[in-house]
Chain A
Amino acid sequence: MSGNGRETTTHSHSSGGDRGRDGEHGSPFAPHTPDETAAMLDAIGVEAQEELFDIPEAVAFERSLGIEPRSEREIGREVRGMLGRNDELVEFLGRGHYDAYVPALVDHLADRSEFLSSYTQYQPEVTQGFLQALFEYQSMLVELTGLAVANCSMYDAATALGEAATLARRVRETSGHRVLVPELLHGGRRAVLENYIAGTDAAVETYRHDDGNADLAALESQLDDDAVLVYAENPTVRGTIEEELAEIGALAGEHDALFCLGSDPVALSILAEPASVGADVAVGEASSLGLGASGGMGLGLLATREEYLRQVPGRLVGAGTDAAGRRAYTLTLQTREQHIRRERATSNICTNQAWLALRAAIHAAWLGPEGLCALAERCVTRPRDLAERLNTIEGCAAPVHDRHHFREFLVRTDRPAADVAADLEARGFAIHAVDETLVQVCITEANAAHVDDLAAAFEVVA
């Protein structure tokens, strides 16, 4: 541990009197000097730290874990080197996880340690700041969805969908066990949904699509009074915009099933409001704001009608009044939650994604209504233009679905899709191979500058 410019000592950690600044000499994040440790042991009335442990010998671990402590600088080098083995590709990837240009202000404000290193707001008098930020986030989602109640986060879109299904089972007056989802649903979302209802007698079934939109006739023939939830997405995982959402909502309503609509805040800023097409619940990936590509980390959006308020999963921030008569914020309706209701709670969620909600809210506020709508409109025009362009390339047909698109679209390739994707990867681009003949391309402000290069590469490999 030489060369890190920090004081080290030769005390061993087990002596109970060390002040190492590197892991080798004890935790660098424990401030105790040897003298302090000794005085504290003295105050307690024991000789050594080991005496404070009540671990039976039979289960004590006395070997080494084999984890070498490293200095901050060494770990920086190691992690940079390791992650440097990720190829530098321009990603045209989406299907539910989007790269976004996140303004610098978001990082700088959200990284303030008062936000980043704070806990869930169980002491509202010293956490008004975060509570207000979450209240503002909830309010923006209320505006975007048209639904009166938005919680302050689920883990991601997939778990939000799972929670919507359990919510549907709780609020539906009659029993019912069928959850109807589109055939075009991201595999991760589908798999998570299956697990969230695994504890019930509910089952997931799919309805067909017709050229990238819900096939209404198929959906209608599948609906009966045993359906508890109908789920649709706008845009769909293939980027198509659903044209008959209100009809889907009406069909669900006729059978007393809840209608759940999946979307994201950027899309919702110009597409139809969930409430206006009859949605009872809106879910989705709110990390389309405030977070760039991040290996799949998400921010689950969940909003619903006021009548289901007491069945909402997760945390809710409400406005109240303090003893000085001023408006103040607090976590509210906590009797829904696991720490009070235990096995009868509306969800098991405790730690959520609050800090990402803060980031999304700052990003939305930074864009303002014009900025957000303009960003969303570019999500409509850019894929339109790129699809048109790729369509002129021999061996490519795009868009595959004769629909409006948001951010992304399918290309049918004459060559096997996997080969096209692999050849593009060799040229520095990542796209999705969806099946044998379909690839998918997603365009956001993070990759828009590379569109010419992508088109040129398609010319070569298609």
Chain B
Amino acid sequence: MIYDQARWTRGASEKRDGNGDESEGESEEGGEGHGKGSVYEPLLAEKRSREVGVASSLPDDLTRDSLELPALAEPELARHYTRLSQTNYGVETGPFPLGSCTMKYNPAFTEDLAALPDAAIHPERSAASTQGTLELRYRLQEYLARIGGMDSVTLQPPAGAAGEFTGILIARAYHEHRGERRAEVVVPESAHGTNFASAALAGYEVVELPAGEDGRVDLDALDAAVGAETAALMLTNPNTLGLFERDIEAIADVVHDAGGLLYYDGANLNALLGRARPGDMGFDVMHYNVHKTFATPHGGGGPGAGPVGVVDDLAPFLPTPQVRAVEQDRREPDGGADGSGTEGSAGSTRYERFAPAHSIGKVHGYAGNWPVLVKAYAYIARLGDAGLRDASAKAVLNANYLASRIDYEIPYGPFHHEFVASAGDRDAADVARRMLDHGVHPPTTKWPEAVPEALMTEPTEVESRATLDQLAAAFDRVAAEDDAVLDAAPERTSAARIDQTDAARNPRLSWHALDE
């Protein structure tokens, strides 16, 4: 497949001034928009902006003098943003196999539910007047606890990294409560950057754990790294190479014997839904990445949500507030009817907020990214047990199928929902850019470093055999192309290759800076 992303260009000077008059008109290149200074789409401020004097009933010394902002009519704005959207690749545009990011289709109905007027409430309403919100939160806590094999869950962290920070603060509070001050958090070298940064933000020294030859945790290296100073080991399983840490029970023993806690980074949970649970593997605390595993939209970077689950021993340290059901309802505690579809069964239960006994306090000003949580609830309810199990089955099937179709070396296996191929003697970023011309989004590049020139590929369960074949064809065509073609890539996208070095050397971060 060959791809042409919408491409319109025009000269930068083709803009209007504040009075709405056409200024210079066509660019030097005769309106074709080539060459320096031309743009794909002018900025809002280049289309029309206006400076207004601030007239306020406040005393002058409390106000600013003037404000200059874009001043466009609604139809102009509609075209502006529609045009911008046309130059943006999303999950509904085509396959999106970004490793570790779990780019699933975001079910349309979940958006409608999150947008219900009854969901649009202020976070400081009384518990009595927001029983519906509290019930949904409670039920989601329960679902997540079951899925992760955890005892209690907080929905407060607004993203995965915030979940990591929360989990490490909980670990720290737990140790301090026992009168221990531990200084280190152990993180495998192949872990995501946030693991290191979150541990550091919580005040820990990060001890990097080298991987074994098979790409998994090396028990001898672990023994050497873990000790009396170890507050926690942070692990994702399957790890970032897609490999299940087969020695997970032994790993848990090493960490627990040293008095440390085992933290689960939930970024890769999509591989295990309903098949294995971090709690059963010996993990004490984990985050869920709902914008990955539970199909809430990534929104061009966010918002997501990063709920944290803990075992009973850690529950007193959870952020405040938590939600609990007060009158015991008639649901069976485990595995039975979950009371979901039937409105009547929930009627007798009240929900309340409470502060856990030794709470770490707060990691978000309020209660996290609530609308995202509504979407996650709806997604989990839609799939249920069988759907969740099937999601992981198809995610793993798709990764294995795609891997079997491409001519790239994949040094580590058996992998699950993602694999890491090597671009060999080519620059993985060049391969990725050229894949764009073949109508697909490329994989994550250059991470994890265990694979040289890594192409970390996670198709997720939403791809069909046909789109996987399309992806495989894109991989292989690029492999067959000349270096010169790769160097010039991409050529069919809305913008050509961007000079990153220059952008960083000469930072221009606002339209104010463009004239400088």
Contact = CB atoms under 8 A, between A and B. Distances in A.
Interface string A310-331: 0000011111111111111110
Nearest to A200: B203
B64 A79 contact: no
B159 A138 contact: no
B94 to A, nearest CB: 10
Contacts of B366: 97, 156, 188, 295-298
Contacts of B447: 339
A330 B147 contact: no
A403 B301 CA distance: 40
B113 A351 contact: no
B91 interface: yes
Interface stretch (A129-137, A173-181, A219-227, A392-400): A129-137
B256 interface: no
A32 B465 contact: yes
Given A43-B405, A66-B146, A328-B40, A139 B512 contact: yes
Given A55-B276, A199-B203, A135 B300 contact: no
A125 B206 contact: no
Interface string B236-251: 0000000110101100
A130 B500 CA distance: 17
B87 A353 contact: no
Given A86-B131, A126-B493, A196-B201, A372 B67 contact: yes
B52 A370 contact: yes
Contacts of B394: 26-27, 30, 32, 37, 49
Interface residues on B, range: 35 or more
B277 interface: yes
Interface in A351-383: 351-356, 358, 362, 364-366, 368-370, 372-373, 376-377, 380-381
B254 interface: no
B384 to A, nearest CB: 3
Contacts of A362: 77, 81
Interface stretch (B219-227, B420-428, B475-483, B501-509): B501-509
B300 A115 contact: yes
B124 A95 contact: yes
Given A61-B276, A127-B89, A156-B365, A293 B120 contact: yes
A351 B497 contact: no
Interface string B264-296: 000000001011110011000000000100010
B4 to A, nearest CB: 12
Contacts of B390: 13, 18, 20, 23, 26-27, 30
Contact of B301 (A315, A330, A342): A315
A216 interface: no
B258 interface: no
Contacts of B326: none
A63 B274 CA distance: 8
B136 to A, nearest CB: 5
B211 interface: no
Question: Which residue among B12, B149, B378 has the maximum number of chain A CB atoms within 10 Å of its CB?
Answer: B378
B62 A243 contact: yes
B36 to A, nearest CB: 5
Contact of B101 (A113, A119, A134, A188): A119
B249 A70 contact: no
B210 interface: no
Contacts of B40: 128, 326-328
B499 A320 contact: yes
Contacts of B33: 326
Nearest to B200: A343
Nearest to B336: A66
Interface in B299-358: 299-304, 306, 332, 334-338, 340-341, 343, 346
Contacts of A138: 509-510
Contacts of A148: 509-510, 512-513
B507 A126 contact: no
Nearest to B369: A297
A42 B222 CA distance: 38
Given A26-B390, A79-B136, A67 B69 contact: no
Contact of A342 (B147, B193, B291, B397): B193
A302 B181 CA distance: 33
A24 to B, nearest CB: 6
A264 to B, nearest CB: 13
A349 B335 contact: no
A259 interface: no
B386 A82 contact: no
Given A115-B88, A324-B496, A295 B133 contact: yes
Contact of A380 (B56, B244, B441): B56
Interface in A399-431: 404, 425, 430
B303 A355 contact: yes
Nearest to A297: B369
Nearest to A154: B158
Interface string A51-87: 0111110111101111111111011101111111111
A138 B405 CA distance: 43
B105 A136 contact: no
A268 B64 CA distance: 8
Nearest to A241: B62
A346 B206 CA distance: 15
B34 A86 contact: no
Question: Which residue among B120, B149, B502 has the maximum number of chain A CB atoms within 10 Å of its CB?
Answer: B120
A30 B396 CA distance: 12
Contacts of A107: 115
Contacts of A144: 67
A166 B165 CA distance: 15
Contacts of B132: 82-86
A337 B193 contact: yes
A196 B203 CA distance: 10
Contacts of A93: 122, 124-125
Interface stretch (A250-258, A269-277, A453-461): A269-277
B507 A332 contact: yes
Contacts of B202: 198-199
A386 interface: no
B39 to A, nearest CB: 5
A379 B414 CA distance: 60
Nearest to A364: B69
Nearest to A166: B201
Interface string B146-170: 1101000000001111101100010
Nearest to A358: B300
A199 B302 contact: no
A150 interface: yes
A317 B159 contact: no
B58 A270 contact: yes
B276 to A, nearest CB: 5
A142 B512 contact: yes
B408 to A, nearest CB: 16
Given A69-B381, A123-B433, A198 B300 contact: no
A74 B414 CA distance: 39
A3 B81 CA distance: 39
A160 to B, nearest CB: 9
A345 interface: yes
B136 A83 contact: yes
A338 interface: yes
A234 to B, nearest CB: 9
Contacts of A125: 433, 436, 490, 493-498
A51 to B, nearest CB: 9
Contact of B397 (A49, A80, A273, A318): A49
A410 B494 CA distance: 53
Given A155-B159, A326-B35, 5 more contacts: A118-B90, A155-B364, A243-B62, A319-B509, A325-B35
Ordered nearest first, which 8 A-B pairs have the shortest CB separation? A296-B366, A69-B384, A199-B203, A295-B370, A355-B299, A23-B387, A354-B301, A320-B503
16 contacts: A13-B389, A24-B384, A30-B391, A72-B107, A115-B84, A117-B298, A125-B493, A133-B81, A135-B509, A158-B362, A159-B158, A159-B363, A295-B121, A298-B366, A348-B194, A352-B303
